[in-house]
Amino acid sequence: MLKRKRIREKGKIKLSRYFQNLKEGDKVSIVRDLSVKAGFPKSIQGRTGEVEGKRGNCYIIKVKTGKADKKFIIHPVHLKRVNS
């Protein structure tokens, strides 16, 4: 679980991650950016999901938790594209 940023990253929000564009079907990893308030539970930190669509500035991410698939609406600051 992330509790603090590294010293060289403090106070910074990478604008390329803030305004990144993702397509439907892209695989993404969920990594909380601590300088921006996250709107999702801490239990999905570090999980991998798939982009299902876009709602406003945020993306709908489908994450498999146990047996069920759950959908979360997450801002792109907290998402990293996974090359597969």
Q: pLDDT value at position 6?
A: 83
- Enter the pTM of the model: 0.85
Q: pLDDT value at position 81?
A: 94
- State whether residue 19 is helix, strand or coil: coil
Distance between the two ends of the chain, CA-based, in angstroms? 24
Read off the pLDDT of residues 39-84 as tens digits, 9 standing for 90 and up: 778 888 899 999 999 999 999 999 998 889 999 999 999 999 998 6
The CATH architecture that domain 7-81 belongs to is: Roll (2.30)
Query: Is the torsion defined by CA of 46, 63, 80, 4 positive or negative?
Result: negative
Contact 31, 78 (CB under 8 A): yes
